[in-house]
Amino acid sequence: MSENSKVITKEFANKPIVLTIFGEGNESSIFEPADAAENGEAPVQIQEGYFYEYKITDGYRLKTSEIVSRSKINPATGRISPNIYVGTLTLIVEDATGAECTDLKLEVQSRKTSYRGDYRQMLVDITDKCTELLLQHNSPVSQLVEVDFNADAKTLYQRFAFIKSIIDSAEFNDSVYKIISSPVTRWKDCDSIKDIRAVKRMDSSALRQITSATNRISLPDNHPLKTRMPSVPSKINITSKTETVDTPENRFVKYALNSFRSFIGDFRIKLKGDSRLKTEATLLESKLEEYLSHSVFKEISNPTTLPLNSPVLQRKEGYREILRVWLMFDLAARLVWHGGEDVYSSDKKDVAVLYEYWLFFKLLDILKELFDIKPDEIKDLIKETEDGLGLQLRQGKYIPLKGIYSSKNRKLHIEFSYNRAFSGKKEYPHGGSWTMDMRPDYTLSIWPFGISQAQAEKEELIVHIHFDAKYKIDNLSTIFGDLSDKKLSEEEMQEELSTEKKEIIKGNVKRVDLLKMHSYKDAIRRTGGAYILYPGSEKYQKKGFHEIIPGLGAFAISPSDSNDGSRELKKFLSEVTEHFLNRASQREKISLKAFETYKTNEINEVNDLLPETYGENRGLLPDETFVLIGFYKDAEHLKWITSNKLYNARTGSTRGSLRLSAKETGAKYILLHTTGETTTSRLFKLDCKGPRIFSKLTMISKLYPNPTQEFYLVYDITPETEKEFENTRWDITQLQGYLGARNSALPFAVSLTELMKAVVL
């Protein structure tokens, strides 16, 4: 027998059926852990994500499924492919005719060694959060109800799973042991018949019995009391103080444990066959019976009332936890979670899906704390349904939670969404994806207060940050590569990429999660970042430019009752918040630029020869480069312009003065023309610093011919024409601002795009 193989044997029709399982490769190990029974698992176990061959006794075969495939050559052999399935795998055995004979159990373990503890911890946390929701003043809960054990089996298991997560927790076990080892006690009166000679202290009751009790004996003649009392009783009833554990608080603890045991026992009786669920219920019931068999509880009587207001129950360590669990127990026993079918239906234990649900509550807590918001929609997470109180949390179900964040200088809309779909069928400027439909696990959307989300999308004022839950990730290097700052040479980088390409050809796509984050970032409009959440220890964060967003990365969030690693994520979201409060951020500038660029469907074309956009001409975009169309009076005026490298325009309100706007003050070129001239090639470059104001005296000092205005607006020009514009002429009558006749001398500005449409060919 190979070291990487195991045998499962079961009797059927007085004959053994033997199933032998073989691991493919060194990694696909098969094992029999010693604690399998303790955890309600099948003895023989394999791991998810690997492949296994099997052989069964001749004459039998395994029923095919998504996990089990049969050989076409020998039906007694085949392959088991667990993929992402985790839990007890029931293998149906058929005879040669296809009739079902019996079944064999095989456990599929998660590749994460901590999955048992993670699974239990996450169920405890989710139950805890659901209990908090149910205990809120606006909860639909109004009175206690009995659990219907004749209800749907799936519903019962959902309830059982919640309760098992509570009772099976380390906190519950520690609490019981603390109570057993150091129970609360009280003093009680204990009556006993004692020989009068053994009584040490006399109280009023004892004194009365000395004078009145029967069965008396005579005192000796020499006794000091003989003259006053000829006889005394031989025995009297003495009341003494005795320490006891039979207190109201201990009675409550015993009652709670009995309630738990009764529920589990009744639940187990309803189960049929030899299922994993029945094993789990039996183990849990045995644990509760072990607690109740302790000598402490034998002395404790049944309660007549429940002392829920007792300071001991509410404050003392151990007791307060049992009280909390008892309150959770009643609520959890009535809670129906149809999303739980994705986690533990049919003996399945999908810890990855459970991690996704658990992260929902974890992120919700972080955002509530960080933004100090209490979304109204939280109350709708649990609703009354036909089969009980339903938790409305399920894969694929869209859940938005909204609030308003107020700081001292800005208010922001906050929306935290689970399973939000971004449609790929909406055209710009609507929100969504511009390629295919996409649905991240969680999306945080932030936009300014006072406008709707739809308007914020259209005006490029909203930012989405996406998170995906990835429980199966073991090491970030498999996604992001080498996380160190080591610089690879060109040869090393080429070798690494070649190796990765070979793995992709084999089907081993390691960076698919990173590519998915890039898809969110690049396809979903107004996305500021996309991040992986996984149960590990490393964080990885890459900034797109200089600010915290846009970016990609991963944060480690692990199920734990002490340190879950959420500090780094809180820090990141806090920095995102500070970033949004900065009104001068690069993101604000880029969003405005995007809005101004895409707000119109008009598409201009400029295919003419222009200066290249680099160096001092980096900002030379035809639509945003403006040309001042200026008038000169005569040859003398033109000579003054070229010799002084200045162009003047009138100021004030008189006819012919230049009306200033961003186009005129920010003009990069000037095109000159004179009286009767409709086509011109006199294009000059303007100083980028903008125009100046010259007085009449200044103009005289510069020999300006016949100044008539008190002040002039003066531009600095470069007389040399750029080579791309040499020998180019423009017809100014084709320009929109040209008025003609007497008004042809009025200056105006046009874009370079418009100017190039007036080129004379």
Give the CATH number, domain containing residue 687: 3.10.590
Considering only residues 189 and 578, tell me which one the structure prediction assigns the higher pLDDT: 578
Residue 205's closest CA among 240, 238, 230?
A: 238
Which residues have a Cβ under 8 Å from the Cβ of 496 and sit 6 or more positions away? 481, 488
In a domain, 15, yes or no: yes
pLDDT higher than 50, residue 145:
no
Residue 449's closest CA among 413, 418, 474?
A: 413
* Residues facing residue 90 across a β-bridge: 105
Residue 63's closest CA among 35, 36, 89?
A: 89
Q: Among the ranges 35-39, 273-277, 341-345, which has the highest mean pLDDT value?
A: 35-39
pLDDT band for position 140 (50/70/90)? very low
Total structural domains within the chain: 4
- The pLDDT tens digits of the residues spanning 414-451 come to 999 999 999 998 889 999 999 999 999 999 999 999 99
Domain boundary among 65, 94, 109: 109
Looking at the structure, tell me whether residues 708 and 669 fall in a common domain: yes
Domain boundary among 78, 109, 140: 109
Task: Determine contact, residues 647/715, Cβ cutoff 8 Å.
Answer: yes
Q: How many CA atoms lie within 13 A of 479 on its CB side?
A: 25
Domain boundary among 109, 124, 144: 109
DSSP, residue by residue, 346-368: GGB--HHHHHHHHHHHHHHHHHH
Give the single-character DSSP code of 443. Answer: E
Q: Token pair of 582, please?
A: 């900065």
Looking at the structure, tell me whether residues 452 and 579 fall in a common domain: yes
| Residue the block writes with tokens 């179900």 | 397
Task: Determine contact, residues 413/449, Cβ cutoff 8 Å.
Answer: yes
Task: Determine contact, residues 211/233, Cβ cutoff 8 Å.
Answer: no
- Percent of the chain's residues with pLDDT above 90: 39
In a domain, 279, yes or no: no
Looking at the structure, tell me whether residues 491 and 632 fall in a common domain: no
pLDDT higher than 80, residue 188:
no
Distance CA 273, CA 278 (A): 8
Residue 446's closest CA among 464, 421, 460, 432?
A: 464
pLDDT higher than 50, residue 78:
yes
Looking at the structure, tell me whether residues 727 and 642 fall in a common domain: yes
Task: Determine contact, residues 340/152, Cβ cutoff 8 Å.
Answer: no
Distance CA 31, CA 224 (A): 88
Name the 3-class secondary structure at 730.
strand
| Residue the block writes with tokens 């296809």 | 98
Looking at the structure, tell me whether residues 467 and 526 fall in a common domain: yes
Region 672-687 average pLDDT: 93
Looking at the structure, tell me whether residues 411 and 557 fall in a common domain: yes
In a domain, 320, yes or no: no
Cis peptide bond N-terminal to 429, omega within 30:
yes
Q: Token pair of 346, please?
A: 């049919």
Region 374-389 average pLDDT: 72
Region 386-403 average pLDDT: 79
Q: Token pair of 92, please?
A: 């149906």
Average pLDDT, the chain: 84
Residue 290's closest CA among 255, 327, 252, 257?
A: 257
In a domain, 343, yes or no: no
Looking at the structure, tell me whether residues 619 and 585 fall in a common domain: no
pLDDT higher than 50, residue 146:
no
Looking at the structure, tell me whether residues 523 and 569 fall in a common domain: yes
Distance CA 401, CA 398 (A): 10
What's the predicted TM-score (pTM) here?
0.76
Looking at the structure, tell me whether residues 430 and 555 fall in a common domain: yes
Cis peptide bond N-terminal to 440, omega within 30:
no
Q: Among the ranges 334-348, 377-391, 468-482, 546-560, which has the highest mean pLDDT value?
A: 546-560
| Residue the block writes with tokens 């009391």 | 225
In a domain, 258, yes or no: no
Residue count of the chain, please give it. Answer: 761
Considering only residues 152 and 277, tell me which one the structure prediction assigns the higher pLDDT: 277
Q: Are strands 669-673 and 626-631 parallel, antiparallel or unpaired?
A: parallel
Radius of gyration of the chain (CA): 42
Looking at the structure, tell me whether residues 575 and 636 fall in a common domain: no
Distance CA 679, CA 693 (A): 29
Region 490-509 average pLDDT: 63
Domain limits for position 697:
615-756
Per the rule left: phi > 0, alpha: psi between -120 and 50, beta: everything else, 83 is left
- Residue 672, burial from CB neighbour count under 10 angstroms (0-12, 13-18, 19+): buried
pLDDT higher than 70, residue 151:
no
In a domain, 717, yes or no: yes
Q: 579-616 b/e with 16+ CB inside 10 Å = b?
A: bbeeeebebbeebeeeeeeeeeeeeeebeeebeeeeee
Query: What sign results for the dihedral spanned by CA atoms 301, 306, 308, 311?
Result: negative
Residue 567's closest CA among 375, 355, 370?
A: 370
pLDDT higher than 90, residue 733:
yes
As a dihedral over the C-alpha atoms of residue 371, residue 376, residue 381, residue 385, rounded to 10 degrees, the angle is: 180
Residue 658's closest CA among 555, 748, 531, 529?
A: 748
Distance CA 362, CA 340 (A): 17
Amino acid at site 557:
I
Q: Token pair of 162, please?
A: 């919640």
Which residues have a Cβ under 8 Å from the Cβ of 361 and sit 6 or more positions away? 125, 126, 129
Task: Determine contact, residues 21/6, Cβ cutoff 8 Å.
Answer: yes
In a domain, 328, yes or no: no
Which residues have a Cβ under 8 Å from the Cβ of 69 and sit 6 or more positions away? 78, 79, 81
pLDDT band for position 139 (50/70/90)? very low
Q: Token pair of 375, please?
A: 């979304």
Name the 3-class secondary structure at 306.
coil
Distance CA 626, CA 649 (A): 17
- Ranking 31-45, 157-171, 274-288 by mean pLDDT, the lowest is 157-171
pLDDT band for position 292 (50/70/90)? very high
Q: Are strands 626-631 and 540-543 parallel, antiparallel or unpaired?
A: unpaired
Looking at the structure, tell me whether residues 556 and 693 fall in a common domain: no
Looking at the structure, tell me whether residues 665 and 526 fall in a common domain: no
Residue 711's closest CA among 650, 640, 631, 637?
A: 650
- Residue 643, burial from CB neighbour count under 10 angstroms (0-12, 13-18, 19+): exposed
Q: Which parts of 60-130 are beta strand (E)?
A: 60-62, 68-70, 77-80, 87-95, 100-109
pLDDT higher than 60, residue 152:
no
* Residues facing residue 469 across a β-bridge: 533
In a domain, 319, yes or no: no
